[in-house]
Structure 1
Amino acid sequence: MLPTITTFGWVPEFARGFVRDMRPRWAFEEVGQPYAVNLISDSKCPEHRRLQPFGQVPTYQDDEVAIFESGAIVLRIAECAGKLIPEDPAGRVRALQWVAAALNSVEPYVMALATNDIFEADREWSKARHVKVVSDLKTRLGDLEAALGEKFWLDGDAFTVGDLMMISVLGGLRGTGLLNDFPRLAAYVARGQSRPAHRKAMNDHMATFDAKAPA
């Protein structure tokens, strides 16, 4: 079977471009692997929860495994293709370290902003909390920019799964203007998003959604 991911067939306009099926889509395009997409409307149903116990997307299946979590899926795609992960042990583990950093050290701060300013914007404490959320996020972005330094990618000249995941996470800040204070980081994200594979993945992701909500 073709590797298959499961994701939503429709999301509200504000979520388009941000759903995490973008991550495996981008990885598939980078390695040149055809894939199939199973579109669902209810991620909380028992059938989907058998694949994703937390009722989220995406999921992934091939002839050998059925897994969830975007980071694990991207790693599976890269491993099967023998691309995006350096062959030398030291380079490999550095790439894996940046995958972990994207998901554990950066994404929680990005999601804290989205949670506060979008999903909990109607709470009486949301506006006051915004200042602290942004301050914490900027501290983490400053740390990341310092680690990037003058390098083209996180580990130098080679684009790896670590860059794919980090740029995907930072893509969650699109429209906030927060990267304007971090020019090297902003340029890094722009480099990643300008890759043909990313453009193709984003076009396919956006094409999934109809202009109107499902009945």
Structure 2
Amino acid sequence: MPIDPNAPITITAYDWVPDFAKGQVRDLRVRWALEEVRQDYAVRILPQGGQKEAAHRALQPFGQVPTYEEGDLTLFESGAIVWHIAERFPGLMPEDPAGRARSLEWLFAALNTVEPPIMDYAIATLFEAGEPWSAPRLPSVEARITERLDEASARLGDADWFTGRFTAGDLMMVSVLRIIEGPELLAPYPNLVAYLARGADRPAFGQALADQMSGFTGSPPPGFDEWMAEQKASTGVMT
């Protein structure tokens, strides 16, 4: 669906992020959900730093993106927004109560069980890569990720989707697993690799990703290039 500045739904997104974060910022999850349910939306683009200003904090108290506005309703947190979209519009939710509950179950599993150790890995290898505590933490972080991937792979088995058909739960699980797509952490799980490919092959995902990428037209905040150079020099792992 086209981005429409006059659409009744407005989300927020950044105008710039580091290269390693492009395609990962969580407004992508909301864009994808809106594409799946075929709803136009507008985007309020924030320069880096703008998310910490009072006007945005009135919508998102933690100074992050995305937010969702529709009429008198304002939401923050990508999981809550995706769930609202799935409830509000047909396409991402089974009609039977049990199917809806299973979709919610996997949405929460993605955010509360699978994502935390994956984000710990990102913190240790990217955001705090130059700190002395990062390298010693990596083995335990990787062990936790491996445990979760073992469990997720075993549950998925030969199925296409965790919930029988593609739902909001799978949208969120694909979004979370994409954070480690490519590295050796995911390679031992061919069914999860195929699962991610199925998610990425959905036209709604492709459109959402293209639209997010096209919005990155801004410049890095002062001091970012120096910080990046320090991280590279101290670890050699950032690209």
- Answer whether TM exceeds 0.5 for this pair: yes
Structure 2 equivalent of residue 208 of structure 1: 215
Counterpart of 2:208, as a letter, is: A
| 1:65 partnered with 2:79 | no
State the alpha-carbon separation in 1 of the partners of residues 54 and 132 from structure 2: 35
Please identify the structure whose Cα radius of gyration is greater: 2
Taking the TM superposition and a 5 Å limit, the aligned residue runs for 1:58-137 are 58-137=66-145
Task: State how far apart, in whole Å, the 2-side matches of 1:9 and 1:211 are.
Answer: 5
In the alignment, which residue of structure 1 is the partner of 2:170? Answer: 163
SS in 2 for 1:43: helix
Q: Normalising by structure 2, what TM-score?
A: 0.86
**How many residues were matched structurally?**
214
- TM-score with structure 1 length normalisation? 0.95
C-alpha separation in 2, matches of 1:129 and 1:64: 44
Q: Are the aligned partners of 2:15 and 2:218 in contact in 1 as well (CA < 8 Å)? A: no
Q: Which deviations, in whole Å up to 9, do the C-alpha atoms of 1:18-45 show, x marking residues without a partner?
A: 1000001001111110001001121111
Q: CA deviation at 1:7?
A: 1.3
Q: Letter of the 1:108 partner, please give it.
A: P
Counterpart secondary structure, 2:110: helix
Deviation beyond 6 Å, 4+ runs, structure 1? none
CA distance in 2, matches of 1:61, 1:97: 25
From 17, 20, 27, give the equivalent of 1:11.
Answer: 17
> Is 1:56 the equivalent of 2:72?
no
| Structure 2 partner of 1:34 | 40
Distance 1:163 1:33 in 2: 19
What is the SS of the residue equivalent to 2:153?
helix
3-state DSSP of counterpart to 1:201: helix
Deviates further, 73-82 or 33-42: 73-82
- 1:120-199 equivalences under 5 Å are 120-156=128-164, 158-199=165-206
Whole-Å Cα distance in 1 between the matches of residues 163 and 55 of structure 2? Answer: 40
Structure 2 gaps of 5+ residues are 1-6, 223-239
Cα shift at 1:14: 1.7
Shift of 1:84: 0.6
CA contact (8 A) 2:16 2:218 kept: no
Q: In percent, how many aligned pairs have the same letter?
A: 50
Provide structure 1 residue ranges, at least 5 long, that are not aligned to the other structure: none
